[in-house]
Chain A
Amino acid sequence: GENVEQHPSTLSVQEGDSAVIKCTYSDSASNYFPWYKQELGKRPQLIIDIRSNVGEKKDQRIAVTLNKTAKHFSLHITETQPEDSAVYFCAASGRGGADGLTFGKGTHLIIQP
């Protein structure tokens, strides 16, 4: 089955700086890669996703890059703000999302004021 590795487990950055979280996946059949933000006790919120036919996608301060050959994808958050503090999960799925999601272990992002 799919295995998703995520690094780092904790990331502390100064407000206004950029944050980068990296994930690798093992199953070459995976073709859908969403990123979620989860606050304590809440449901995961989709912040951005990318399909395997696209190398990069951007939405305001958030961008995701995908390298299919290397089987890794990354989340980039620019101009970080205190409200960006949360746990972020990457995930992978096959069949365009029809399969269930395999999640990484999560990154606790801390924005220092």
Chain B
Amino acid sequence: GAVVSQHPSRVICKSGTSVKIECRSLDFQATTMFWYRQFPKQSLMLMATSNEGSKATYEQGVEKDKFLINHASLTLSTLTVTSAHPEDSSFYICSARAGSLDEQYFGPGTRLTVT
């Protein structure tokens, strides 16, 4: 149980275009989903926290107008990288938390390359 999927697993896009990444909890309802970014050989950095039906909370230094997060249902959150630039190239990982449980279940990640 507690499976989180992400789509796509890899995406290459041109500079200036937008890319949408989906995060789904497959067998549980996720009251909260988190988005992290991981640059090569670095740690995971929390970008934002999203609760179903409400606006996401962004970490300091993360542009909310550039990284649009929508948590439309208890099983789906999306991250849209708008006007992507090469420096946005990274590994984006979502996680989902179910109700009162502590554990966050991570998705497999999406490798974004902006050319």
| A residues lining the B interface (CB < 8 Å) | 1, 32, 34, 41-46, 49, 51, 89, 93, 96-106
Pick the contact of A34: B91, B103, B108 (CB < 8 A): B103
Distance A93 CA – B103 CA, assembled complex (angstroms) = 10
- State the CA gap A99–B32 with chains docked (Å): 9
- A97 touching B101 by the CB < 8 A rule? yes
Q: Cβ of A49 and Cβ of B103 under 8 Å apart?
A: yes
With an 8 Å Cβ cutoff, the count of chain B residues facing the other chain is: 25
Q: State A49–B101 Cα separation when bound (angstroms).
A: 12
Residue of A nearest to B94 (CB): A43
Report B's interface with A, CB cutoff 8 A.
Answer: 32, 34, 36, 42-46, 49, 59-60, 91, 93, 95, 97, 100-104, 106-109, 111
List, in ascending order, chain B residues with CB within 8 A of A102's CB: 46
What are 16 A-B interface contacts by the 8 Å CB criterion?
A41-B111, A43-B93, A43-B107, A49-B103, A89-B44, A97-B102, A99-B49, A100-B34, A101-B46, A101-B95, A101-B104, A102-B46, A103-B43, A103-B44, A104-B43, A106-B42
Contact with A44, one of B44, B45, B59, B111 (Cβ below 8 angstroms): B44
